[in-house]
Structure 1
Amino acid sequence: MIHYKEIAKIMGGLLMLLTVLMLPGIAFSFYFNSGDQRALISAALASLTIGGLLFFSFSKQDQNIRKREGYLIVSLSWLFMSIFGMLPYVLMDNPMSISDAVFETISGLTTTGATTMVDIEIMPQGILFWRSMTQWIGGLGIIVLTVAIFPLLGIGGIELFVAESPGPTSDKLHPRIRETAKRLWLIYVGLTITVIVLYFLEGMTFFDAVNHGLTTMATGGFSTKNDSMAFYDSELIQYTAIVFMFLAGTNFTITYFGLQGKWDRVWKSDEFRAYLFTLIILAVLLSVPIFVYGNHSVEQSFRNSLFQVVSLITTTGYITDDYTLYHPGVTLVFFMMLFLGASAGSTSGGIKFVRHLTFFKNSYLEFKRIVHPRAVIPLKINGDRVTGKIITHIMTFLLIYLMIFVFGSIIISIMGYDLITSFGAVATCLGNVGPAIGMVGPTDNFAFFDPLAKIFLSFLMLLGRLELFTVLVLFTPYFWRAN
């Protein structure tokens, strides 16, 4: 039996947390007198009221959260946060449509970075800050934040942590899950403050530095400028963004070891080495056609190549250059990056390098097993043997991911959009990236999609952010059968 009252209590706690997170946006709104105070205050009061009613109505509930409740709570938490998170967009003076507000909010919380805003720079500052804050909230996950700060979830925290971060690795920085979540958020907050300070010292206004700092570490890519990072014609700012996008795409366990000076633990990670070398190789190779076909210096060609490679692979989605203007082969390579993702245990979306690494290693070993059918040839990642259960999980994930991409592209094309745009929109939303190809290239937006298409793409964003299984399991009959 599912403990619905316990779930309702947790939803209430999350909505009250959402109220607190809206407060900085209200402060910016008053400071700039941007005219969106009423929208933000009304949204905060709505979240506080509904959240308080749910929490205090069921505050005496103290039942253990099992794995089944964990999956349901995580999915519902993202749904509730999306519904109440969109309120500022629909309550402001020039309100968005419901479909646009849903798309913008889910794009923020899932750190996708796709937008329906045609002119970002005319938007009020309070709304822009809330837009960036949604990405920062979703960077390490709503549940991880809650487990780190509040004892509200009790011993059920481990089930929620696993349900929201269902990747193939299970590294923890501390035996207690709450301590792990705290340390993850300390690293996250520390790096965010660092990059904000650097952006400010390098020439951004304080408001822009805060917004870009939040969305850089979240690997979200929302910007306060229509031209994204291309607006800042500064080598220093762009290289700073590259470094921190790379760090945000690195497994935070690896970052923790690096901060402690345990470089042997860092270099032992097969995923980290694959992630690092792939970025370097692709950046060097793509800088050649960018130099040949573009009117750039050698340094700028390499910088544009490195920036876009890091931005797409980490699923940040910032842009400094339109990669679709070069050779079609260059565009195709950048499109393929939408299916990579960075490291498991990072703020990036996508498939993740550890899954690709496991797939290719296992495929290679399969040739050995054909030649030596009686030999026991184990698959190892980071020197540890990968169990058959994990291999099956990864292979299933990759197959389902591919199926969703294919069928999603078919659905979008049936709605009347050309095939290239359909491929690009589905790939970038499912991978939580932002820019893609076709009519959703680096300099485009998603405003032209009809409401039904926007809702469908929003669902794909949630699927991708929660890595498929957490959401899809809710659609199976086994999940709802009583024990």
Structure 2
Amino acid sequence: MADRRLDTLRHAVRWPVLLRHLGMLGVVLATLNGVPLVATVIWGEPAQVAAYALPLLALLAISLPLARLAAPERLQLNEALAVVVLAFVLGSLVMSIPLAQAVAGTPGGSLGGWLDGWFEAVSAITSTGLSTAATVEDKPASFLFARAWMQWYGGLGIVVLSLALFLHNGMFARQLMETEAVGETLVSSTKAYARRMLAVYVVLTLSAVGGLWLATGDGFVALTHGLSAVSTGGFSTFDASVAGWSRLAAATALLFSLLGAVSLPLWHRAWQQGWKQGWREGWRRGPAELGRDPELRLLLVATLTIAGLLWLWAPAGEGRAADALLLAMSAQSTTGFAPANVAALDDASKLTLIASMLVGGSVGSTAGGFKLLRLLILLRLLQLVLARAAAPRHAVLGVHLQARQVADEDLWRVLLVVLLFVGLAFVSWLAFVAHGYPALDALFEVVSASATVGLSTGIARPELEPVLKLVLCLAMLAGRLEILALLVLLHPGTWFGKRTEVA
């Protein structure tokens, strides 16, 4: 009876609505991916121009007519989620051809070469940082910039632009951003929200690029690593990532990575508090706003705890504490810059990093993982279970966070997302173990992919079996979209069934 009632209430996606918004996002993607095309011209790489230009022209030729389709403005939730998922897939497919040319020396001329290019594109747009390239130091500057640029707009840009397009869907926008009921309340105008978050993102990015330029003295290195740091992406222009950098330069990159793992709405609130109160009072109000946020406090505690454990497991040597702290910052922020050789770590250190990567950063940030807010809610739930064991039978207790009660619906959603993350990592891990890879290294690799981190034990490489490259691509996409959005896309009810005629 209940299933029959759900069938009558459920509505499949409307093709005109889906195609129109895909067309709009296609135009946006073509514009964003036009930046690397311009870079190839500026840097004098004529061999790369056609590889970037042809897919973008094809995308525009398809997207512009679709964007002009007549369709209702208001979106259903399944339509909106489908558009966002398809935008990530479409963006990676479009850029797979130029990236394949740089990786394999051919513009997708062979299936293996195209797959390596698509792997790089998926890793970039999901702000992961895993790579199958044997080396990146011999690649053209346009390739290195394109990956960092895709990480930057994939980290937040597509979500912000989606929110701006879905202006009249405040309820949907809140669910898309996964701001839990106990967290930041989304403002009624998603367009204003998008502008604010983009402003915060740009300020952080400019600060990161400027800081890295001062620390490294190289503008191109500062630009590519600044884009990757703030987006918690982790692609580097060096084969050893940041391992060969000075302590100051590596610490600068990972500091901005940690800042990118903090909720962007929190940065905006802190700035607003300081601006409204004037500079003298603002210097106190702004930091106080940051200090009241439980996710930020947990992010710092988790980073220091992971650093302490890594220091404990590491062999004695010069720079042991600094390396442990930098590696903890990389894993907890889900950035993936490698200040040390991860493959050479002991098993205890790898397990510690796995736990750190799986949790990730704050809700509303560019970080991956299942998010610190969900961990806080799970800890409060555990506290509730223990309290109820000692409470009278008729006592009314609930889960509270920041003086707000967490609704049962939000509790179920938290448990579901965490379970799905663990399930995604487990299924992906089985595929690697079945191919004979060491169990712990395989688990590290798939958690790094599904949490969009990018740290690697060396399994991701050119010789990796094609089916396992596809497994990692799926894990990166699912993890970036927090799995549920991808499940909505794959659910038959999304595509087949009754369609509403309501605009």
Question: What does residue 225 of structure 2 align with?
Answer: 212
CA-atom RMSD, angstroms?
A: 2.2
Question: What does residue 200 of structure 2 align with?
Answer: 187
Instruction: State the Cα distance separating 1:231 from its structure 2 match.
Output: 3.1
Q: Go from structure 1 to structure 2 and tell me whether the alpha carbon gap of 1:73 and 1:244 turns closer, same or farther (over 3 Å shift).
A: same
Asked if 1:72 corresponds to 2:96, the answer is no
Instruction: State the Cα distance separating 1:386 from its structure 2 match.
Output: 0.7
Give the stretch that moved more between structures: 345-354 or 235-244: 235-244
Spell out the pairing of 1:148-163 with structure 2 (5 A cutoff): 148=164, 152-156=165-169, 159=172, 161-162=173-174
Mapped to 2, the partners of 1:231 and 1:29 lie a distance apart of 28
Q: Go from structure 1 to structure 2 and tell me whether the alpha carbon gap of 1:432 and 1:378 turns closer, same or farther (over 3 Å shift).
A: same
CA deviations 1:20-56 (Å, max 9, x no partner) are 2223322322233233122122232222222223223
**Aligned partner of 1:361: which letter?**
R
Instruction: State the Cα distance separating 1:349 from its structure 2 match.
Output: 0.5
Report the count of equivalent residues.
466
Q: SS state of the match for residue 223, structure 1? A: coil
Question: What does residue 336 of structure 1 align with?
Answer: 355
Work out which of the residue numbers 62, 66, 72 in structure 2 matches 1:50: 62
Instruction: State the Cα distance separating 1:130 from its structure 2 match.
Output: 1.0
Give the stretch that moved more between structures: 301-310 or 402-411: 402-411
Q: Go from structure 1 to structure 2 and tell me whether the alpha carbon gap of 1:455 and 1:325 turns closer, same or farther (over 3 Å shift).
A: closer
- Native 8 Å contact 1:15 1:48 kept in 2: yes
Work out which of the residue numbers 292, 295, 317 in structure 1 matches 2:317: 295
- Native 8 Å contact 2:167 2:189 kept in 1: no
Gaps of 5+ in 1: none
Q: SS state of the match for residue 121, structure 1? A: coil
- Native 8 Å contact 2:30 2:56 kept in 1: yes
Mapped to 2, the partners of 1:259 and 1:186 lie a distance apart of 11
Question: What does residue 399 of structure 2 align with?
Answer: 379
Work out which of the residue numbers 15, 27, 39 in structure 1 matches 2:38: 27
- Native 8 Å contact 2:26 2:60 kept in 1: yes
What's the TM-score, normalizing by structure 2? 0.87
Question: What does residue 325 of structure 1 align with?
Answer: 344
Mapped to 2, the partners of 1:163 and 1:83 lie a distance apart of 26
Mapped to 1, the partners of 2:398 and 2:306 lie a distance apart of 30
Mapped to 1, the partners of 2:250 and 2:270 lie a distance apart of 23
CA deviations 1:340-395 (Å, max 9, x no partner) are 11111100000111111111221122021122232112211122111111111111
Question: What does residue 258 of structure 1 align with?
Answer: 270
- Native 8 Å contact 2:51 2:107 kept in 1: no
Mapped to 2, the partners of 1:421 and 1:325 lie a distance apart of 11
Mapped to 2, the partners of 1:139 and 1:294 lie a distance apart of 37
Q: Go from structure 1 to structure 2 and tell me whether the alpha carbon gap of 1:242 and 1:156 turns closer, same or farther (over 3 Å shift).
A: same
- Native 8 Å contact 1:324 1:330 kept in 2: no
Give the stretch that moved more between structures: 339-348 or 2-11: 2-11
Instruction: State the Cα distance separating 1:115 from its structure 2 match.
Output: 0.5
Instruction: State the Cα distance separating 1:107 from its structure 2 match.
Output: 0.8
- Native 8 Å contact 1:37 1:126 kept in 2: no
Question: What does residue 7 of structure 1 align with?
Answer: 18
**Aligned partner of 1:47: which letter?**
L
CA deviations 1:215-241 (Å, max 9, x no partner) are 101000001111111232x22212212
Q: Go from structure 1 to structure 2 and tell me whether the alpha carbon gap of 1:36 and 1:175 turns closer, same or farther (over 3 Å shift).
A: same
Work out which of the residue numbers 352, 357, 362 in structure 1 matches 2:376: 357
Work out which of the residue numbers 200, 203, 206 in structure 1 matches 2:213: 200
Mapped to 2, the partners of 1:359 and 1:86 lie a distance apart of 39
Question: What does residue 277 of structure 2 align with?
Answer: none
What's the TM-score, normalizing by structure 1? 0.90
- Native 8 Å contact 1:145 1:185 kept in 2: no
Question: What does residue 228 of structure 1 align with?
Answer: 241
- Native 8 Å contact 1:115 1:446 kept in 2: yes
Q: SS state of the match for residue 122, structure 1? A: coil
Asked if 1:456 corresponds to 2:471, the answer is yes
Question: What does residue 40 of structure 1 align with?
Answer: 52
Question: What does residue 405 of structure 1 align with?
Answer: 425
Question: What does residue 103 of structure 1 align with?
Answer: 119
